[in-house]
Chain A
Amino acid sequence: AQTVTQSQPEMSVQEAETVTLSCTYDTSESDYYLFWYKQPPSRQMILVIRQEAYKQQNATENRFSVNFQKAAKSFSLKISDSQLGDAAMYFCAPRFDSWGKLQFGAGTQVVVTP
C-alpha cells in the first residue's frame, strides 16, 4: 500500500522567516508526480508547486521551493520570507498512477505570526 506521511501537525513561523514542511511517502513506482496544495480558511484547494519524479532539479515557484529526495522518498516544502497570507493548511499529495489519482497526507497547519 502506498502511504503519505506529514509528521508535523502544526508549524509556526514569524513573518519574513523561513519554514520547512516535511513529507515522506512510500511507493514502488519510479515515475510519478508530487504536489503541494494549500488550503486557506476559505476551503479552496490551491496548487502551490509540482515536481516530476524523473527530474533531478528541485522545483521552485517564487517563495516556495521543494527538496525532493527520490531515494529517501522525501518531498519537503520550504516557504521563504513568510507572509500572513501563507497561513493555511498544507497538503502533500503524490500521484502514482497515470490517470489522476492523488493521495493526500494528513496536512500541516502553518501559523504565521507578525
Chain B
Amino acid sequence: NAGVTQTPKFQVLKTGQSMTLQCAQDMNHEYMSWYRQDPGMGLRLIHYSVGAGITDQGEVPNGYNVSRSTTEDFPLRLLSAAPSQTSVYFCASSYSKAPNTGELFFGEGSRLTVL
C-alpha cells in the first residue's frame, strides 16, 4: 500500500521563489493536513481539509496556500518563499467517520531550505 505520498523529499529554494509540495493518499481519507516541524516546537498545523472543496487554516497558515479538488490530493503552495519557511513539512491524513480510530497517517516528510 502506498499510504501517504509526499514529493519532493528535498528542495532548495531562493527567497521569493514559489513552489508546490505534493501530497496524495490512497486510503480514501476525508481528512488531510499539512504540518511543519521546527526544532523544539513539535509539529504545527498549517492548513487542513475535511473533504474535497473544503479547507481551513491551522495554527501557522501565513505564506501558504492549499486546495482540495479531489479526495486523494492536497497540495501545499508556497507563494513567495522566505527563509522563515525553512522547515520539514509533513502531510498527514485520517478517517473522519466510523470506524474511526483517530490515528493520523503521515507521509515521509519534505525538507525545504530557503536561501
Tell me the A residues contacting B by CB distance below 8 Å: 4, 6, 9, 33, 35, 43-45, 47, 50, 52, 91, 93, 95, 98-107
Contact = CB atoms under 8 A, between A and B. Distances in A.
Contacts, number: 67
Interface in B43-66: 43-45, 48, 50, 58
Contacts of B48: 99-101
A104 B44 contact: yes
B42 A91 contact: yes
Given A50-B101, A98-B96, A44 B106 contact: yes
B41 interface: yes
A99 B48 CA distance: 10
A106 B40 contact: yes
Interface size class of B (residues with CB under 8 A): 20 to 34
7 contacts: A50-B101, A95-B104, A99-B96, A100-B33, A100-B48, A105-B42, A106-B42
The secondary-structure label for the interface of chain A is loop
B45 A101 contact: yes
A98 B42 CA distance: 22
Given A43-B108, A100-B33, A35 B102 contact: yes
Contacts of A93: 43, 104
